[in-house]
Structure 1
Amino acid sequence: MSDYNDFVTVDARLVILRALTEQPDGRLNDSLLADVLDAYGHHRSRDWIRQQLRYLADIGAVKNTDVNGIVVAAITRLGVDHVERRTELEGVKRPKIGA
Structure 2
Amino acid sequence: MNYKEHAAADCRLIILKVLAQEADHRLNETMLSHVLETFGHSKSREYIRQQLTRLEELSAIQITEAGSIKVAELLRAGLDHVERRSFLEGVLKPSIGG
- Structure 1: 4+ residue segments shifted above 2 A: none
Matched, 1:88 2:87: yes
Partner secondary structure for residue 90 of structure 1:
coil
* Separation in 1, partners of 2:5, 2:67: 31
TM-score, normalised on structure 1?
0.97
* Separation in 2, partners of 1:78, 1:68: 27
* Separation in 2, partners of 1:58, 1:7: 18
Partner secondary structure for residue 43 of structure 2:
coil
1:59 aligned partner:
58
TM-score, normalised on structure 2?
0.98
How far off is 1:67 after superposition? 1.0
Identity within the alignment, %: 45
* Separation in 2, partners of 1:35, 1:92: 20
* Partner AA of 2:52 in structure 1: L
1:27-38 map, 5 Å = 27-38=26-37
1:58-84 CA-to-partner distances (Å, cap 9, x unmatched) read 010000001101000000011000000
1:31-79 CA-to-partner distances (Å, cap 9, x unmatched) read 0000000000000001100000000000100000011010000000110
CA RMSD of aligned residues (A): 0.8
5+ unaligned residues in a row in structure 1: which ranges?
A: none
How far off is 1:5 after superposition? 0.5
2:71 aligned partner:
72
